[in-house]
Amino acid sequence: MANLNTTYAGLKLRNPFIISSSGLTSSLDRIRKFDSLGAGAVVIKSLFEEQIMFDVDALADTSDYPEAYDYVKRYSKENSVGEYLELIRSAKKAVQIPIIASINCVSSGEWVNFASRIEEAGADALELNLFILPLDKNKSAHDYEAVYFEVIEKLKELINIPIIIKIGSQFTNPLNLVNQLYFRKADGVVMFNRFYSPDIDLDDMTMVSSEVFSSPSDLRNTLRWTGIVSGEVPEMNIAASTGVHSGEAVIKLLLAGATTVQICSVLYKNGVEYLTDLIDKLETWMLTNKYKSIDDFRGKMNYSNLNDPLVYERSQFMKYFSNLH
């Protein structure tokens, strides 16, 4: 039997499969289900910065607009911070796999103090789903990236559990960003986040959401940057995400240097039990190729370990496809 154990952001996992933050991980029953199916860890559905900053009691004392109060009260009831903390506590009692909390945030504001309550509730780690849309034409890319650095620095002063940063793929230099996060003692990075994207309904002339789920073709970008970052910043633990729809994709990402993989869309499309198929595929491949552990092949195909690392670079498109007409 192959040894699928791995260590991610200081956490010991029985295998590299992490269920990413989504509706799949929004209840205790669902977390229990993934534990029974063999998941290595789960990331609880994100708590949004706006939810954390809502203080219903303070609003009740100061608001002159009862309608607004009723709305916020309803919102907070449906998205209770207290319920989120209780889910962490309950999950820690119910399962043995690591429970990773998640916050969806857009600033480095006062919400960071809430991280202490997540730690007190028993979360094994905190994943920050951080996205700042660059809407100010007077700000440079560095100005926006500085928020990421400020967040990690503040949190490192407040909590002792591992901190993982989930980033998007649109940075000018993802390699530099990850390197800077490593120097600021981030314990791991998720590459990449799949953000909400707008679309236009031509019939109704309204703004709608584009496709929510990832597709297998999205793997290409994840694979490229996983291979490059793991080769150039080998100390950083990487959870590869987006485009992971098969056991083959998982194996490729581990060969590229991923520490773990996060899966979501494939389980929505195929059912949560498909997780066991993915695990079996990895184990079968390892046995076939006589790998006793994941460490025996992890990173074997990353940017630093290839004789010709240029295959990871965009310029190779012309070499391989210049004969197409």
> 11 - beta bridge partners?
8
Surface-to-core class of residue 38, CB atoms within 10 Å of its CB (0-12 exposed, 13-18 middle, 19+ buried):
middle
Q: What is the pTM of this model?
A: 0.89
Q: Which residues pair with 3 in a beta bridge?
A: 293
* Digit-coded pLDDT (tens) for 89-107: 999 999 999 999 999 998 8
The domain 6-321 belongs to what CATH superfamily?
Aldolase class I (3.20.20.70)
Asked if residue 55 has pLDDT above 50, the reply is no
For 79-192, where are the E strands, in sequence order? 99-105, 125-130, 163-167, 188-191
The dihedrals phi and psi of 301, each to the nearest 5 degrees, come to: -115, 25
Confidence of residue 73 (pLDDT cuts 50, 70, 90): low
Q: What is the spatial distance between Cα 23 and Cα 11, in angstroms, rounded to a whole number?
A: 23
| pLDDT tens for each residue of 143-177 | 999 999 999 999 999 999 999 999 998 898 999 99
Annotated domain spans of the chain: 6-321
pLDDT band at 194 (very low <50, low <70, confident <90, very high): confident
Q: How confident is the model over 212-258, as pLDDT tens digits?
A: 788 999 999 999 999 999 999 999 999 999 999 999 999 999 999 99
pLDDT higher than threshold 90 for residue 209:
no
